[in-house]
Structure 1
Amino acid sequence: MRDHLRAGIAVYNEGRYHAAHDAWEAYWLDLDEGDDERFLHGLIQFTAVVHHASEENWSGAQGLAESAVEYLDGLPDPYRGVALYRVRSFLAATAADPHHAAADPPVVTHDGEAIGYDTLDFDATAIAAEVLAEAGRYDEEVIDDAVDRARDELDGDGGSQFVGMVFSFVRERDQRPVVYQRLRDHVELEQQKDDDVRGLFE
């Protein structure tokens, strides 16, 4: 859960409010009822509140704020390392007056740290990469392949080419299209090598 949690927080703090929930949703959907389910459900709705406010959908922001308050109610603060008091205060104020959400949304912290892309380890970065690929309409299969090859490098094949490019895809926002093109080219090259090797044994 930690990697999904940190990835989503980073995506949110970097301003991708709508995309942030994707880092949590796949994990949340597999949870049974309980505190973790309520926690992630509340965070997902919180990011939706911020997104609706950015689109000036005030009724949507207000309704989800009311619901998110209920999901987060009663959870200890912090929960799973996430400081909830700023989130709860923002949601309560938005539930009372949806235009409150037009102000700068609160930064979400984890273990006392305001997380951004540059603070994520590889596992959380890989989740963020997949989220950003979907949000940015990049080919998700290319990113998935690159992440798999990066994991192989980390497992000890001696390389670090794909590890570096996955980090760059997430961290270098302005260069992301260029980094993606490099990633795609390298993935296609490695896939061709794999096909050539398989062909030797057919």
Structure 2
Amino acid sequence: MTDDTPATTADALLAGAAAHNVGEYDIARAIWAGETPLAPAPAADDSLRTGLAAFATAVLDGRRGEWGAALAGAEEAESALADSDSSAPAGVDSTSVERWLAAFRADPEVAERSPPPRLDIDDDEPTPGELPLSATALVAVAVATGIGDDPEVVIDAVRYARDSDHPETTRYATFVRDYADADAGQRPIVFERLSAMVQRERRKEEDVSGLFD
């Protein structure tokens, strides 16, 4: 089943920033670019998300030593972020990103010597485990898609959480946050537990549905 509650552009900005801040640059790029389930595609005039996705591309390609692709990403990011300066949502600070891009274009090996700047939104540096459910769901689904876990497990967990009177404090929300925030070694364990919870709830739904067949 799918979760019919759409994520917003603000959710995508926050989720991408949180993933970026813990070094999940590929996850951040996919969310900003709208390339994973639940993540809204950026509007044609959304220069901020376009610029951030290109920034993440520059970071990823730079860390791989793919300088041509990295510099092209940096150039695209600089252009898009310059266009977004007057229209960026309040609370989103891209100044440090623009400084890093300028330094990177002058000396691409800066990507190998030091990590890119962390992103600040509303005077905070978000991480996946601290996000509201609507944003952490984007990170968790992007992670599942990226590493080969079943994203439908995460999507159903989010739906079950939202069916509660207090979605943010359900066990489902807790496990979704834990999965989004876990390191590579812990994620299989967290996903196994989350999947078991979801499977139990799915069986309950099937039992109820069978009563009316």
Q: CA deviation at 1:190?
A: 1.4
The partner residue of 2:47 within 38, 49, 52 is: 38
Matching of residue 98 in structure 1 with residue 108 in structure 2: yes
Aligned residue pairs total 197
Q: Tell me the secondary structure at the aligned position of residue 29 of structure 1.
A: coil
Offset at 1:30?
4.9
Partner residue of 1:66? 75
**Are the aligned partners of 1:59 and 1:98 in contact in 2 as well (CA < 8 Å)?**
no
| Mapped contact 2:42–2:50 kept (Cα < 8 A) | no
Superposition deviation, residue 25 in structure 1: 2.1
Indicate yes or no: 2:162 matched with 1:151: yes
Normalising by the residue count of structure 1, what TM-score does the alignment of the two structures yield?
0.88
Task: Give the Cα separation in 2 of the matches to 1:48 and 1:196.
Answer: 46
Which residue in 1 is equivalent to 2:212?
A: 201
Q: For residues 72-111 of structure 1, what are the structure 2 equivalents within 5 Å?
A: 72-76=81-85, 79-80=88-89, 81-102=91-112, 103-111=114-122
1:162 has 2:200 as partner = no
Within the candidate set 2, 22, 45, 2:30 is matched to: 22
Equivalent residue letter for 1:196? D
Q: In percent, how many aligned pairs have the same letter? A: 32
Deviation by residue 1:32-73 (Cα, 9 ceiling, x = unmatched) = 33xxx1111110000111111111111211121112111111
**Alpha-carbon offset, residue 14 of structure 1:** 0.7
> Are the equivalent residues in 1 in contact too, given 2:12–2:40 (CA < 8 A)?
no
Alignment partners' CA distance in 1, 2:86 and 2:107: 24
Structure with higher helix content: 1
Residue aligning to 2:66: 57
Distance apart, 1:78 and its partner CA? 9.5
Q: Residue 160 of structure 2 aligns to which amino acid in structure 1?
A: R
Q: How many angstroms does 1:96 deviate by? A: 2.3
* Structure 1 residues 84 and 78, CA gap change in structure 2 (3 angstroms): farther
Partner residue of 2:4? none
Deviation of 1:16 after TM superposition, in Å, equals 0.9
Q: Which residue of 1 aligns with 2:3?
A: none
1:123 and 1:137 mapped to 2: Cα distance?
Answer: 22
Quote the offset at 1:22 in angstroms. 2.0
Native 8 Å contact 1:146 1:162 kept in 2? yes
2:84 is paired with a residue whose SS is coil
Indicate conservation of the 8 Å contact 2:133/2:158, yes or no. Answer: no
State the structure with bigger RCO (CA 8 A, min sep 6), 1 or 2.
2
Aligned-pair CA distance for 1:83: 1.5
2:42–2:49 Cα contact (<8 Å) kept: no
Structure 2, unmatched stretches of 5+, are 1-8
Deviates more, 1:4-13 or 1:114-123: 114-123
Structure 1 spans left out of the alignment, 5+ residues: none
